[in-house]
Amino acid sequence: MLGNSILLAFREIRRNVLRSFLTILGIVIGVAAVIIMVTIGGGATVQVSQQISNLGSNLLMVTPGKRLGPGQTSETVPFKMSDVDAITRDVSSIAAVAPVSSRSLQAVAGNSNWSTTVTGTENSYFKVTKRSIRSGRTFSESELRSGSAVCILGDTVRRKLFGNQDPLGEKIRLEKLSCKVIGLMEPKGQSTMGTDQDDLVVIPLRTLQRRVTGSTNIGLIQVSVRDGASTEKVQMEIGQLMRERRHLAPEEDDNFNVMDMKEITKMLTGTTQLLTALLSAVAAVSLLVGGIGIMNIMLVSVTERTHEIGIRLAIGALEREVLMQFLVEAVVLSSFGGLLGIVLALAGSVWLSGLLRVPFVFNAGIVMIAFLFSAAVGVIFGYFPALKAARLDPIVALRHE
């Protein structure tokens, strides 16, 4: 009996190519959308964690202003060089401290120009951010002290401005500032949030302050803790020191922020997880819409097919044989659509994760859920309307045309 039902089901599928195709399409789209969204979202989350651990767990970021998050703008007291010196001098177990101030500027060399980030800092920056110099050199003491017009290029800037030529010793112009290229950094690739970490020009802090921003403010202090030392202890010491230097009364909140990588990780992965949740919601809606599509097609087709059911019953088919045929048909279509959706989704995820440069993380759970959901929709909506039709008197079913 099952053999017959399979035979009849396949005949019906072949007989109604368009209807079968539409059913499959609904399932394919639903399944593929969910799997792709969740896979890419999961990949992004993994990537955030990976890159943060690449940065190292011993990095601290000291930013002016209250807690990160909304409403931090109010009365931000900026850092000065003396804060950096104080941290270097008074806090123990520190490997390096780097003041960082940045501006977005247009960099020009010959006929090429490229808009990039110009960071003013000191040589400790390379140590703190784990960047190494590929060719050329870092800043000399006198260049730092006098604020000379020299710069070190990130790989993207080098490529955009100089192509295959050797930029060492050449001049580039950063708005009104013309400076000499003395070094090139090793490329670091893309960061967590998809920004290019090699799209920057590093110049001495003093050069930036004097010739670009015209202020002695420092945007951010990056501190790397000595290996083996407690990050938390250093974090507390910096906090204490800054409170003293800013004369904060005991009841006042910090008007600065010392974050370690754990907090930054939490913040960033929180963002990507939120993003994943949003994408998943969108995907769930598309799965639902796909499901409704399948449902409609099945309902319409059963109404259409009541006459066919009447013919089968009149010829001597049993109710359960008719139902078995519809069940097999629904199962075959849904699982075929589901499998196609999975294949498509995996191919799409691999391609997209390559494009977006996030790792491809296979999530078996969501694949199962998406498949089972669509299969259930197909089977339920293929089966129950057919049940109604198969229970009709043959003569009544035959009158439907």
Partner 1 sequence: MKDLSGQPLIVLKGVTKIFGEGQAAVEALRGVDLRIDTGEFVAVMGPSGSGKSTCMNILGCLDTPTAGSFLFKGVDVGQLSRNSRALLRRHYQGFVFQGFNLLNRTSALENVELPLIYRGISAAQRKERALRALETVGLKGWERLTPGELSGGMQQRVAIARAIVTGPTVLLADEPTGNLDTARSREIMDLLTLLNRDSGITIIMVTHEPDMATYAKRIIHFLDGTVALDEKTGGKN
Chain residues in the site for partner 1 (CB under 8 A):
1, 4, 7-8, 11, 15-16, 307-308, 310-319, 321, 393-395, 398
The tokens of 173 are what? 């112009």
Handedness of CA 200, 203, 206, 212 (dihedral sign): negative
Closer CB to partner 1, 48 or 317, in the complex:
317
Closer CB to partner 1, 281 or 395, in the complex:
395
Instruction: State in angstroms the smallest separation of the CB of 302 from partner 1.
Output: 15
Name the strand (E) or helix (H) holding 171.
strand 171-174
Instruction: State in angstroms the smallest separation of the CB of 317 from partner 1.
Output: 5
Closer CB to partner 1, 188 or 312, in the complex:
312
Closer CB to partner 1, 98 or 397, in the complex:
397
Closer CB to partner 1, 1 or 364, in the complex:
1
Q: What is the DSSP string of 365-391?
A: HHHHHHHHHHHHHHHHHHHHHHHHHHT
Instruction: State in angstroms the smallest separation of the CB of 378 from partner 1.
Output: 22
Reported as half-sphere exposure (CB side, CA atoms, 13 A), residue 179 has a value of 26
Closer CB to partner 1, 141 or 401, in the complex:
401
Instruction: State in angstroms the smallest separation of the CB of 319 from partner 1.
Output: 6
Alpha carbons 33 and 23: distance in angstroms, whole number: 16
Residue 183 φ then ψ, to 5°: -160, 165
> What letter would DSSP give residue 218?
B
Alpha carbons 230 and 175: distance in angstroms, whole number: 43
Of the candidates 214, 212, 140, the one whose C-alpha atom is nearest the C-alpha of residue 177 is 212
CB 400 within 8 A of CB 303: yes
Instruction: State in angstroms the smallest separation of the CB of 400 from partner 1.
Output: 11
Alpha carbons 280 and 287: distance in angstroms, whole number: 10
Alpha carbons 141 and 43: distance in angstroms, whole number: 43
Instruction: State in angstroms the smallest separation of the CB of 401 from partner 1.
Output: 9
Closer CB to partner 1, 15 or 137, in the complex:
15
Instruction: State in angstroms the smallest separation of the CB of 295 from partner 1.
Output: 24
